[in-house]
Amino acid sequence: MDRGTYSAASAGMLQLRKLELVNNNLANLSTPGFKGQYLISRQAEFEDSLASAIDSTAPFARADQERTPGVKTVASATDFSIGPIERTGNPLHAALRNPNEFFVINSPEGPVYTRAGNFTLDAEGRFITQDGFPVQGDGGELIVGQGIPEISSGGIITVSGLPGGINQSAGRLRVVQFDDPSGLERIGSNRFRLPGGGDAPNPVPIPTVVPGSLEQANVSAVQAIVELISASRGFELYTKSAQSIDAMNQSAIQRLGGRA
């Protein structure tokens, strides 16, 4: 492949991947606890290319690659900054005030972690997620039965409306903290897990909770739209560049062929 075409094509693929991430960010603007993603990339080095395998027999390979380097996409990364906290008034909702802290959810694959506190109750009065996974308390599952639950600023769930007019505690929401959450694996839109499915080592004894509220996505709609337009234009530019280079190569081949 022509080096110019390769450089334009690799940069175009980078913009295409960025489009995918920005579109996903925009699609989750209303997803509680969603953390935006961004792309990490670096310029491709000669050792990343297949030409490096024949460097000893092709003395111009390194120089050719370094004149018109392509782009090597490294990975997508997650922005774990806190999103805006909005009051909903729902007694089953809770938001975490401190960064790098997560609620713990029981899933079939083991414990998963989320900032989304839009909990609900099942028919048995257990605290569950919107898709039915149990929410962990500091002593196991959180069960309020037929009572009326209320979450305190310390994460304690108090149940009222029980027979005899008594109030009782159903436990405390289990919250864990990660010193560096960048090592977490992303699951779906707003959940994470440790590689291998292990449990978090740092429980938070008394979390700081905002009752009746939800943490919203930490994505700016305006910024995401600007990035979307920029990535779209970049992809279009690199595509046209590759097409132009290909057209010039075809023209050169035809002219040279006509002289033979």
Alpha helices in the chain (DSSP H): 3-27, 61-67, 221-259
Do 75 and 141 fall within a single domain?
Answer: no
CA distance 113 to 140: 15
234 shares a domain with 206: no
Question: 223 and 201 in one domain?
Answer: no
Do both 182 and 100 map to the same domain? yes
Number of domains in the chain: 2
The pLDDT of residue 193: 94
Rounded to an integer, the average pLDDT of 128-156 is: 93
Domain match, 232 and 246 both: yes
User: In terms of residue numbers, what domain contains 98?
Assistant: 85-215
Closest by CA position to 195, among listed 207, 205, 187: 187
Structure tokens at 94: 């809770």
Tokens read off for 172: 């405390």
Closest CA to 8 of 71, 75, 74: 71
Residue 155 contacts residue 173 (beta carbons within 8 Å): yes
Domain co-membership, 69 together with 151 = no
Quick one: what percent of the chain has pLDDT higher than 90? 50
Check whether residue 132 and residue 247 sit in a common domain.
no
Instruction: Check whether residue 9 and residue 74 sit in a common domain.
Output: yes
Q: DSSP label at 183? A: G
In this structure, the answer to whether residues 211 and 134 fall within a common structural domain is yes
The reply to whether 202 and 244 lie within a common domain is no
Task: Give 111's pLDDT tier (boundaries 50, 70, 90).
Answer: very high
CA distance 222 to 30: 14
Average pLDDT over residues 61-78: 64
Q: How far apart are CA 27 and CA 170, in angstroms?
A: 36
Question: If DSSP codes are grouped into helix, strand and coil, which group holds residue 108?
Answer: coil
pLDDT tens digits along 175-229? 999 999 999 999 999 999 998 777 777 899 999 999 999 999 999 999 988 887 8
Give me the amino acid identity at 129.
T
Residues 77 and 89 in one domain: no
For residues 211 and 95, membership in a common domain is answered with: yes
